[in-house]
Amino acid sequence: MERVTLEAKTREGLGKNQVRRLRHDGQIPGIVYGRGREPRPVAVDAKALGAVLHTQAGRNVLIDLAIGNGDRRAETVIVKELQRDIFRRDITHVDFYAIDLTRPLEASVPITFVGQAAGIADGGVFEVHLREVVVKCLPTQIPEHIEVNINALGVGDAIHVRDLVLPAEATVVTAPEEVVATVVVPKVVEEATTTTTVAAPAEAGVPSAAGAPEAAAEAKPAEAKPAAAKSAASPEKAKTEASGAKAKSDAGQKAKPDAGTKAKPETGSKE
167-199 residues labelled b (16+ CB within 10 A) or e (exposed) = eeebebebeeeeebbbbeeeeeeeeeeeeeeee
Q: What is the pLDDT of residues 130-180, one digit of tens each?
A: 999 999 999 999 999 999 999 999 999 999 999 999 999 999 999 999 999
> What mean pLDDT is reported for the chain?
78
pLDDT higher at 167 or 208: 167
Does the pTM surpass 0.95? The reply is no
Rounded to whole angstroms, the Cα distance separating 230 from 118 reads 80
At 66, phi and psi to the nearest 5? Answer: -95, 105
* 165 C-beta neighbours (distance < 10 Å), count: 8
Instruction: Give the pLDDT mean for 7-25.
Output: 86
Rounded to whole angstroms, the Cα distance separating 187 from 124 reads 10
Rounded to whole angstroms, the Cα distance separating 144 from 220 reads 83
Least confident of 11-20, 148-157, 261-270: 261-270
Partnered with residue 37 across adjacent β-strands are 34
* Cα radius of gyration (the chain): 49
pLDDT band at 37 (very low <50, low <70, confident <90, very high): confident
Return the ∠ at Cα 46 (arms to 83 and 138), rounded to 5°.
65
pLDDT higher at 156 or 210: 156
pLDDT band at 201 (very low <50, low <70, confident <90, very high): low
CB 106 within 8 A of CB 135: yes
Q: What is the 3-state secondary structure (H, E, C) of 179-215?
A: EEEEEECCHHHHHHHHHHHHHHHHHHCCCCCCHHHHH
pLDDT band at 188 (very low <50, low <70, confident <90, very high): low
Which of 81-90, 199-208, 223-232: highest mean pLDDT? 81-90
Query: What pLDDT does residue 200 have?
Result: 53
Instruction: Give the pLDDT mean for 187-209.
Output: 55
Rounded to whole angstroms, the Cα distance separating 115 from 105 reads 31
pLDDT above 60: residue 42: yes
Question: What does the DSSP assignment read for 220-238?
Answer: HHHHHHHHHHHHHHHHHHH
Least confident of 111-115, 195-199, 237-241, 260-264: 260-264
